[in-house]
Amino acid sequence: MLIRVSLAFFLMIQVHAATASPLEEESEQLQTERLSSSEAREALNLPVVSELRTATVLSFSDSDVQFWANRAKAAHSAAPVEQGDLAKTYDIIIQLGHYPRKQGRTGGQGKFVNEQQMAALVGVGLYRKLQELKFQGKTISTLLVSADDYTKGLKSKIFLSLHTDASVTPCSLGPSVGYQGDKDEKGMHGIALALAITLGKDAERFMRDSYTRALQEYYAYRRFNVSLFKGVLEMSELTCPDDEKNLLLKASQLSTNIAYAVQWALR
Ligand SMILES: [Zn+2]
């Protein structure tokens, strides 16, 4: 009986996830294919896992959350986004979801921050962390871009778009990782592990439940010339107050973990 009830609940969530999402262009990818448990277990053996740390938040007050919300707003107001250079091949292009749109699809709204601010907090942190890491003795070349305003056809090994989810029924969507095809798999496995491990999720379960091969394209994919892999990270559901707080408090560790996953994926 218990099993039946939880299965029904699980199916309910699946249906909900499919119907609650059209708030966003990236969530219109309703047809998705999930990862098998053997694929998920295989991902857990990736060497990058040893470099990833769960963010430990032992106790916190609302003022701690407010501190990170203020950092997110500051990151948003001074995000070093650029147009990009067609003559270069970047190691990674990081896109801040919806940034800095004022109309149309502007992104979700949380209690402390909005989606653009959260994306800026993690994205600018990732950008800075990557400046400290090296690949083959050289600084990892990183470009930060907005949602719409950049040179079309930029060359990059990796493209990663940072988003949060929103739902009309709060706390019904978890974090998730989406990618397009087989070519994107290796690198996006590392990114998915970085997200799951940072948030203290059961990584194998996360990979099976929340790692999806989107059969439709994210609008920005075709605007870049990507050689290694591309994907979309839905870092958490911003309309779930506990998840919003959790992500704010863990944002810095998430930036660091994604940076290590990127460094590993370039190898
Ligand atoms: Zn979004």
CATH of the domain at 33: 3.40.630.40
Q: For residue 113, tell me if it sits in a domain.
A: yes
60 pLDDT band, cuts 50/70/90, is confident
What is the domain extent for residue 250? 25-266
Centroid of ligand 1 to alpha carbon of 115 (angstroms): 7
Centroid of ligand 1 to alpha carbon of 12 (angstroms): 23
pTM reported for the whole predicted model = 0.87
Task: Tell me which residue of 142, 76, 148 sits closest to 115, measured CA to CA.
Answer: 76
Q: For residue 13, tell me if it sits in a domain.
A: no
Helix (H, G, I), strand (E, B) or coil at 36: coil
Report DSSP state, residue 218.
Answer: P
Query: What is the pLDDT at residue 29?
Result: 45
Using an 8 Å Cβ cutoff, are 266 and 135 in contact? yes
Element (H, E) at 158: strand 154-165
Query: Cis peptide before 175, with omega less than 30 degrees from 0?
Result: no
Centroid of ligand 1 to alpha carbon of 108 (angstroms): 7
Centroid of ligand 1 to alpha carbon of 233 (angstroms): 9
Q: For residue 149, tell me if it sits in a domain.
A: yes
**Which residues, by Cβ under 5 Å, contact ligand 1, an ion?**
24, 97, 163
Query: What is the pLDDT at residue 209?
Result: 85
Task: Tell me which residue of 145, 178, 157 sits closest to 24, measured CA to CA.
Answer: 178
Q: For residue 180, tell me if it sits in a domain.
A: yes
Q: For residue 176, tell me if it sits in a domain.
A: yes
* pLDDT tens digits along 177-189: 888 777 788 889 9
Q: For residue 19, tell me if it sits in a domain.
A: no
Centroid of ligand 1 to alpha carbon of 67 (angstroms): 23
Stretch 70-95: mean pLDDT, rounded? 98
The domain total for the chain is: 1
Centroid of ligand 1 to alpha carbon of 45 (angstroms): 30
* pLDDT tens digits along 5-34: 444 333 333 333 333 333 345 544 445 678
Q: For residue 104, tell me if it sits in a domain.
A: yes
Q: How far is CA 29 from CA 78, 174, 190, in A?
A: 31, 16, 22
Query: What is the pLDDT at residue 9?
Result: 39
**Exposed, middle or buried: residue 193 (CB in 10 Å: 0-12, 13-18, 19+)?**
buried
Q: For residue 200, tell me if it sits in a domain.
A: yes
